[in-house]
Every structure is written in structure tokens, then in C-alpha cells.
Amino acid sequence: MMERMATPSCAVLVSGGLDSAVLLVERTASHSTVYPLFVESGFPWEAAELWHLRRFLETIRAPAVQPLDVLSLPVRDLYGDHWSLSGQNVPDAGSPDSAVFLPGRNVLLLAKAMLWCHLHVVPAVALAVLAANPFPDATPAFFAAYAAAVNQAVAGSVQVLRPFEGMKKVDVIWRGRQLPLQLTFSCLQPQGDKHCGRCNKCEERRRAFRDAGVPDPTNYASVG
């Protein structure tokens, strides 16, 4: 069940993936103005994410959704030769979820997003964090402590919303099954504008559509 109108505006951290795309659309039912924020860090999959995200936004044409704001936060000086930048030993379909951990990812994303909200007088930012997220920067304790620290630093009061925190990807797909999910993107080694079909995120996506009983509209370069 969707929330009633909570605040007049809200930002949503979007990646171009399934979860944040569905979250973005759902926020339009509870907020009169929704600001999509994409944080560009230099990962090789970001061009494909942005291409899909912009097409998704053009297709849904939700009046409440404002133009996409792309923020810059390079991580090459932090991550160095990490697989996410080097393209070497990218977690494949048989790897555990923990293999795709990007150190401090939510620390970086939220710093940028919360400060953007504070400076633009937007009272809340929403993230599509799911129940199955195994990472230490995705726990309720982390979000509470981090939000408090950032707000203290700027004498602000930006809320961090996690409406999907009790859901799995299957639930999100089912909720968003009427949306143009073929225009979402979640792949670590894109082949042009296609999903590679072999990485950890492609397998997670393929499995979630199957388990949700929803036809998978994804254009994979490889069948498995």
C-alpha cells in the first residue's frame, strides 16, 4: 500500500536499475515533486545505465518527475585497480551477492545526495535498498547514524527514506510489472546497450523475473 502525501518534494537516488526505477515512479504517488539524482563515479557501466535511465524517464512522462540531475563523484583515486574500474575478474553469474560489494558506496552516494537536498531545500531522499542487501552500509543502524551525522554537519534535517527495505527484488518486479522495465539496466559488463547476460547482476535480474513469474524483457548479449 502506498503512503499518503508525506512531503511536497523528495529526491530519489536512481541508478537506472529495476529497484530505483520502480521506486521513482512510486514516489510520485506520495510526493508532488520528485527529483531523480544519478551519481556518476566513473564505472564502466554508467554510460549504459544513463542511456536506459533517460529513455525510461522519457517513456513514463510522469508530471511530478523533474529533469534528471547528474552529480559527479569520481572514485578512481579511491578504488584504484578494483574490479569495478579495471574490468578484471568481474563477479560472474556463479558468484555470491557479497562479491559485488563496492566499499563505502552508500557513504559516498548519501553524502552527495543529502547535501544536494539540503542546498535545494528538498526534505527527503529515497533509496531502493532491499531486504536482501548484505552490506554493512545498508543496515538501519548505518542509515540512522549517517543521516544524523550529515544533518548535524549542515544544521539540516534531510530524511533518508527506504520504502523497499522489507522487500526482495521479486516483490519490486511484481509491483513494477506494468512499467517499461526493459528500459532499466543492471549489468557489470555491458555489451553496448545490452546486458552481458553473464555477470552477477545479470543472473540476479534473470532469476528475479523468473521467480516473480513476469516475462523478462531484458536484451541479453548472452543467454547464460
- Contact call for residues 220 and 197 (beta carbons, < 8 A): yes
pLDDT of residue 53: 97
Helix (H) or strand (E) holding 178: none
The pLDDT of residue 61 is above 60: yes
pLDDT band with cut points at 50, 70 and 90 for residue 7: low
The pLDDT of residue 125 is above 80: yes
124-126 sheet: strands from edge to edge: 69-72, 33-40, 9-13, 124-126, 159-161
**What sections of the chain are H helices per DSSP?**
18-27, 46-60, 76-79, 83-86, 105-119, 140-154, 169-175, 200-212
Residue showing cell 500500500 = 1
Rounded Cα distance between 202 and 187, Å, is 6
Q: Find, among 106, 109, 121, the residue nearest to 7 by Cα.
A: 121
The pLDDT of residue 1 is above 50: no
Domain boundaries, the chain: 9-212
The pLDDT of residue 5 is above 80: no
CATH 3.40.50.620 assigned to domain 9-212? The reply is: yes
* Mean per-residue pLDDT over the chain, rounded: 93
Residue pLDDT, tens place only, 210-224: 999 999 999 999 875
CA distances for 100 relative to 145, 168, 200, 211, 218, angstroms: 24, 17, 8, 21, 21
* % of the chain at pLDDT higher than 90: 88
Is the torsion defined by CA of 69, 149, 30, 105 positive or negative?
A: positive
